[in-house]
Structure 1
Amino acid sequence: MQNASNSIIQPAGFYIVALSSMSYSNIYVMFLTVLYGITVMCNVFLITIIFYDHRLHVPKFMAVGNLALVDLVLSTSLVPGMIKTYILLDNFVPFKLCLVQMYTYYTFLSLEPFSLCILSYDRFIAICFPLRQESINTNTRMAYLIGAIWLFSFVIILYAVTSIPTLSFCGSLEVHSYFCDYAPVLVLACGDTTPQWNYATALTMLFITVPLIFIFLTYMGILTAVFRMKNNQSRYKALATCTEHLILVAVFFIPIVIIFSFTFFGIIWNPNVGLVSLCLSSLLTPCMNPILYSLKTKEIRSRIH
């Protein structure tokens, strides 16, 4: 440890210990490795198609490409470190690298629900205002929306992570997670960490409730517009365009809402279950996104063929 002049005790780093204490960790790591490989290949493929095909330079595919990029960075911030810890049996993470991983992971994890919001906004405009869609949802407006959520996430996570070096760590340095997770690192700190816990709780509620409310309201508007359609084929077509998005929303939010609810209400359960669920929710959506949009979106399918 290194003792700074202001008496803050800053460790050289932390030890990631959750994998070593987990049953069937070899199967879990193998599964994550396969999942990560699929995620990288599919998302890079989707981003490349959207980037090079000028016919896909429209708001909808700007939103899809943004989600693919977020998914790619999110999964990369998590899985390679876990694989390295398991294969090389090296679970030590230097302090500064720990902060970088923590900041990257939570920044892009917070971008995920807002990126899903942008996709629901795109569907809302397309179905509820089909004749005015091109004038309302322009490339410029979509670029501003994407830029806004990136700026918001980068800034709002900054305080949480930069508050870690202001704390002293005078006890155990074992992080009971699969990576440099914020809460497991925070519990190792000495002294009062109430401001950090309050901020983290507020952010968690913000990133769950605001996107869910927004998505719910947009789909209420979509359903209202769909039921006003007189043609059954038009109804089916409109609803079919929303299925891939709703699947991604469910896969991402359900595990997070369950974990947060159990933690908030003090329900006791196996902590490994919570860690695995949170980890999978951060990886399944990035893996499923390019597959769903490639298989179900005719514009992408036509480019593949």
Structure 2
Amino acid sequence: MSPLNSAYFINTSIVQPDFFVISGFAGIPHTKYYYVFLCFVYAVSVLGNSFVMFMIYTDHCLHSPKYIVVFNLAVSDLCVSTALVPTMIDTFLFKSQLISFEACLTNMFFVFWFLIMQSFTLTVLSYDRCVAICLPLRYNEIVTNKSMSVITTITWIIAALAILVAVIFMNRLSFCKSTVINSYFCDHGPTFRLACNDNTPNYVISHSHPVLIFWLPLLFITGTYICIARALLKIAGASERLKAMKTCTAHLILVSVFYFPICITYAMGATIHQNARIINTSLATVLPSMLNPIIYSLKTEEFTESIKKFYRRKKIHITGRNT
């Protein structure tokens, strides 16, 4: 074993910097317009997801297993936007690119925790749709409020543990060279590659975690829709088939919005310019949080009816108060 690796294990030469520098958009021209766009995205994300949570909480008709998961998605969308966008704006618009070592690891933990939860929640929603269409007579027996609450709780715990492992191994790294992180937040990959001691565990994590938290969920979602497609082919009536397909429309759009940009970025690999990669990945992390509540509000029949009932009640209340 080399002296450097020995130092890694006995923890005698660990150098942790006081600050990292988030370079991110520094080399990209006309970024002030992008920051204005980010402010808009964040405002819509906060309002949209808060509205979705409010509607589900107040309307007892939406107190069902499916909407427990939708509520969970709104929470993770709101949290990931809050963990990312205000920090990005403060970092680059107000030139506050220094971030302490502890704050960097905290930022890394929460951003990835909520991003993982978005992926897991879309997976749980696909499970819900698969049972509803493939086993309609047993749906109420299999998918209950209690079982869905347990599943969502387990996903939060697994997601936290997964990223906690990565953060713990970051604490074992020594940074004796550059401290400039070439990303728009404390991204795991660009950060651990700055280390000057053995970063093999972090390297393994950086390659295994995407498989566990993105590609396996996407594979599971694909499998559920293969089962759904087979079940739909067995439905004799075209109108019944169309009605069943409509219940999956919102979820399919959500999956496309979340996974498609990630797939494109991975497919392009090293051929994509670094600036284009930063812009693309930043959009991939903030846009789904804005679009998800809009998609659910417009594409889900139960939720649309709930909104209509809410405004009818408000109108009656205001009319009665005025008279």
Counting only pairs closer than 5 Å after superposition, residues 167-246 of structure 1 correspond to structure 2 as 167-246=173-252
Conservation of the 8 A alpha-carbon contact between 1:16 and 1:178: yes
Distance of 2:60 and 2:123 partners within structure 1: 24
Query: Which residue is equivalent to 2:294?
Result: 291
1:213 deviates by 1.5
294-303 or 197-206, larger mean C-alpha shift: 294-303
Query: Which residue is equivalent to 2:284?
Result: 281
Counting only pairs closer than 5 Å after superposition, residues 1-305 of structure 1 correspond to structure 2 as 6-263=12-269, 267-305=270-308
Amino acid at match of 1:152: I
Amino acid at match of 2:290: C
Conservation of the 8 A alpha-carbon contact between 1:208 and 1:257: no
> Structure 2 unaligned runs (5+)?
1-10, 309-323
Amino acid at match of 1:220: I
Describe the superposition over 1:57-85 as per-residue Cα deviations: whole angstroms up to 9, x where unpaired: 10010011111111111111111001111
Distance of 1:52 and 1:100 partners within structure 2: 33
Please give the root-mean-square deviation of Cα atoms over the aligned residues, in Å.
Answer: 1.4
Secondary structure at the aligned position of 2:196 is classed as coil
1:268 deviates by 2.7
1:304 deviates by 1.8
Describe the superposition over 1:200-245 as per-residue Cα deviations: whole angstroms up to 9, x where unpaired: 1101122222111111111111111111111111111111111111
Amino acid at match of 1:215: I
Conservation of the 8 A alpha-carbon contact between 1:13 and 1:92: yes
Conservation of the 8 A alpha-carbon contact between 2:250 and 2:300: no
**Where has structure 1 moved over 3 Å in runs of 4 or more?**
none
Q: Percent identity?
A: 39
Amino acid at match of 1:18: G
- Compute the TM-score of the two structures, normalised by the length of structure 2: 0.89
- Higher helix share goes to which structure? 2
How many residues get paired? Answer: 298
Conservation of the 8 A alpha-carbon contact between 2:25 and 2:275: no
Amino acid at match of 1:138: T
Larger radius of gyration: 2
Secondary structure at the aligned position of 1:14 is classed as strand
1:45 deviates by 0.6
Secondary structure at the aligned position of 2:183 is classed as coil
Conservation of the 8 A alpha-carbon contact between 2:249 and 2:299: no
Amino acid at match of 2:288: T
Distance of 2:168 and 2:58 partners within structure 1: 38
Secondary structure at the aligned position of 2:29 is classed as coil
Describe the superposition over 1:264-303 as per-residue Cα deviations: whole angstroms up to 9, x where unpaired: xxx3320111122111111121111111111122222222
Amino acid at match of 2:55: I
1:54 deviates by 2.1
> Structure 1 unaligned runs (5+)?
none
Distance of 1:224 and 1:258 partners within structure 2: 28
Secondary structure at the aligned position of 1:131 is classed as helix
Secondary structure at the aligned position of 2:109 is classed as helix
1:165 deviates by 1.7
Conservation of the 8 A alpha-carbon contact between 2:169 and 2:201: no
Amino acid at match of 1:268: T
- Compute the TM-score of the two structures, normalised by the length of structure 1: 0.94
